[in-house]
Structure 1
Amino acid sequence: MNEITAILPMKGNSERVPNKNIRDFAGVPLFFHILDTLIDCKQITTILINTDSEKIADLAKNKEKVKIIERPNHLCGDTVPMNDIIAYDITHSNSEHFLQTHSTNPLLTKNSIEQSIHKYFKKLNEFDSLFSVTKWQTRFYWENGNPVNHNPNELLRTQDLPALYEENSCIYLFSKESFKAANNKRIGNKAQIFTLGQLESVDIDEEEDFILAELLAIQKKNKR
């Protein structure tokens, strides 16, 4: 079995949604949702939680597979690039292959994670990395009003429009080798995409995102 180390970085402070990582979300701290999903994936053997928060570390330290990495001062703050944090984390692991995701993707499923891992390893001879996207088929415009993917004079059905793919920050799969070859970037020099549905792709950046995601999570829980 091809083994993966997961990277789940979390900071204590959040500008737009205060304390969102530990805020109650459908009955438990928000980050428990993705953490428990990662724990349930057999191919994931270790979960690295890089954090500057003692509270997050305390909540996570007794969870299965978890290794806490105390975030050094030079990597603290809201403007530190994620690739810098990843570069630090992979020096604390003997693994070759990594999956990075976020605590703000609570609706991401075990099935999608396992499918993405399978696709990543299956096509390693063609691609050096993988990242998840959301497919959109709707009429997009540039800020100046010019159309992006359609001709306003030809009103095609939206399902017939050229698809655009949004990087949704849910799944990144890469190796130490591809990360280094791409100048310390999680998306390598020859990456493949993995499409997720819009519900799984919900990412919590704003208060409205939190409300929407929690409603969806509760509805999903009630259907079980």
Structure 2
Amino acid sequence: MSSGGQGSLKETPLKVAVIPARGGSKRIPHKNIKLFAGQPIIGYSIQAAKECGLFDRIIVSTDDEEIASVARSFGAEIPFLRPKTLADDFTGTNAVVKHAINWLADEGSSVDYACCIYATAPFLKSKYLIEGYQKLVAAKSSFAFSVTGFRFPIQRALRLDSSGSVDAMFPEHIYTRSQDLEEAYHDAGQFYWGKSEAFLRDEVMFSPASVAVVLPRHLVQDIDTPQDWYEAELMFRACQSERS
């Protein structure tokens, strides 16, 4: 609103969480709502988004009515069902976030910041979502996302040929002490904060346009296969027992 020739007051930025959760998981059937340590795994992502207190809206983007029902039970919105054209094996998460931003714009809500949160991120902590937003704004970057360090120096990696013979991938570092090697990081696969225009322009995320939120290694676990799931539950229960 404006008053007495003083111009428009700056409104609080609109911040939206977008949780992609399609229904067609093949390696782990019903992956996004499968019980993980006693509750549907998507519930952990929704709860972390709610607990951080940053989001004006928490939206689950899905093409599946069963996922939608579970997400609503945890307090998320499902204002639309994702079109089938954005629910195949080749659709990237950026396209899903763009669709949500554009859908909200068509409904009259102009998003300033969006955060893509993976539905299978049970280790996600609200404090890291807050840190990500703070770093994004402070650095005036396009994106802020979670990373963690590799457990072993990548400079000491080995390659195997078809016969099983071993060779050093970086022979210049094969005798370098581990403590003298630069630490390397990888995407932790939990959340991706971004300015809405950065998502809409398809800016490159893994670039100097981004800042990182470094997570401890014990809070990071890919969950792509049944073995991953088993290991993640063991880690999760171990973390829970330490706090009890």
Question: Is the TM value for this pair above 0.5?
Answer: yes
Residues 24-55 of structure 1 show CA distances to partners (whole Å, capped at 9, x for unaligned) of 11111111111111111111221111101111
Structure-2 change in CA distance of 1:32 and 1:149 (3 Å): farther
- In the alignment, the residues of structure 2 paired with residue 46 and residue 148 of structure 1 have an alpha-carbon distance, to the nearest angstrom, of 47
Residues 112-143 of structure 1 show CA distances to partners (whole Å, capped at 9, x for unaligned) of 1111111111111xx22112212125222456
Structure-2 change in CA distance of 1:34 and 1:159 (3 Å): farther
Deviation at 1:68, TM superposition (A): 3.8
What is the TM-score with the length of structure 1 in the denominator?
0.87
Aligned AA (1:195): V
Say whether 1:100 aligns with 2:116: yes
Say whether 1:179 aligns with 2:193: no
**Counterpart selection for 2:226 from 200, 207, 218:** 207
- In the alignment, the residues of structure 1 paired with residue 221 and residue 210 of structure 2 have an alpha-carbon distance, to the nearest angstrom, of 22
**Counterpart selection for 1:111 from 101, 114, 127:** 127
2:87 maps to which residue? 76
Question: 1:144-163, aligned counterparts within 5 Å?
Answer: 145-148=167-170, 151-152=173-174, 154-156=175-177, 158-163=178-183
Aligned AA (1:61): R
Q: Is the 8 A contact 2:115 2:192 kept in 1?
A: yes
1:129 maps to which residue? 143
2:157 maps to which residue? 140
Structure-2 change in CA distance of 1:15 and 1:164 (3 Å): same
- In the alignment, the residues of structure 2 paired with residue 187 and residue 48 of structure 1 have an alpha-carbon distance, to the nearest angstrom, of 24
Say whether 1:194 aligns with 2:213: yes
Q: Is the 8 A contact 2:94 2:199 kept in 1?
A: no
Residues 145-188 of structure 1 show CA distances to partners (whole Å, capped at 9, x for unaligned) of 44349611x241x23311112122212111122223445x6667
1:31 maps to which residue? 42
SS across alignment from 2:193: strand
- Higher gyration radius (CA): 2
- Which structure features the higher share of helix residues? 2
Structure-2 change in CA distance of 1:77 and 1:65 (3 Å): closer
Structure 2, unaligned runs of 5 or more? 1-11, 162-166
Structure 1, unaligned runs of 5 or more? none
SS across alignment from 2:53: coil
- In the alignment, the residues of structure 1 paired with residue 227 and residue 56 of structure 2 have an alpha-carbon distance, to the nearest angstrom, of 34
2:3 maps to which residue? none
RMSD of the TM alignment (CA)? Answer: 2.3
